[in-house]
Amino acid sequence: MSDHEMMDKEEIFSKVLRAGRRTYFFDVRATKAGDYYLTITESKKFTNDDGSFHYKKHKIYLYKEDFAGFTEILNEMTSFIVEEKGEEVISERHQRDYQKSYEKNGTEEHLKEEVTASTESFTDVSFDDI
């Protein structure tokens, strides 16, 4: 069997979630015995000072015997976060005008200026060219 045929046999079903600088790949693959498992890959694009770029990838292998426990804990954790903090993103990196409560009160104003200066040079990267 050729390498291409092996690759076709291993990749059964795939979905991609693009999320700003991150892209998540969900791939159903087959073991040598023909059973299925899931890989979840997070890929982040980084731009070097010279304009070139590279990707950092992190991968999770999830096997059928772990699906129920993984799903239960993932649902519990995501529900907890949404119930506690809502669905709105409230971070300095995602919102330029975000201010911590102590910054709103006027103390440690220099921290706000540092955050603003560091985020002004940030450029959002699009993954449409991948």
pLDDT of residue 118: 45
What is the CB-side half-sphere exposure of residue 42 using CA atoms within 13 A? 7
Residue-wise burial string across 48-83, b where 16 or more C-beta atoms lie within 10 A, e elsewhere: eeeeeeeeeeeeeeeeeeeeeeeeeeeeeeeeeeee
Specify whether 7 is located in the same domain as 66.
yes
Does 129 fall in a domain? no
Summarised one tens digit per residue, pLDDT across range 5-38 is: 454 455 799 999 999 889 999 999 999 899 999 9
Amino acid residing at 15: K
Does 115 fall in a domain? yes
Domain that holds residue 68: 3-87
Count of the separate structural domains present in the chain: 2
pTM of the model: 0.59
What does the DSSP 8-state code read for residue 65? G
> In what helix (H) or strand (E) does residue 37 lie, and over which residues does it extend?
strand 36-47
Specify whether 55 is located in the same domain as 83.
yes
Cα separation, 118 vs 95, whole angstroms:
13
Specify whether 54 is located in the same domain as 117.
no
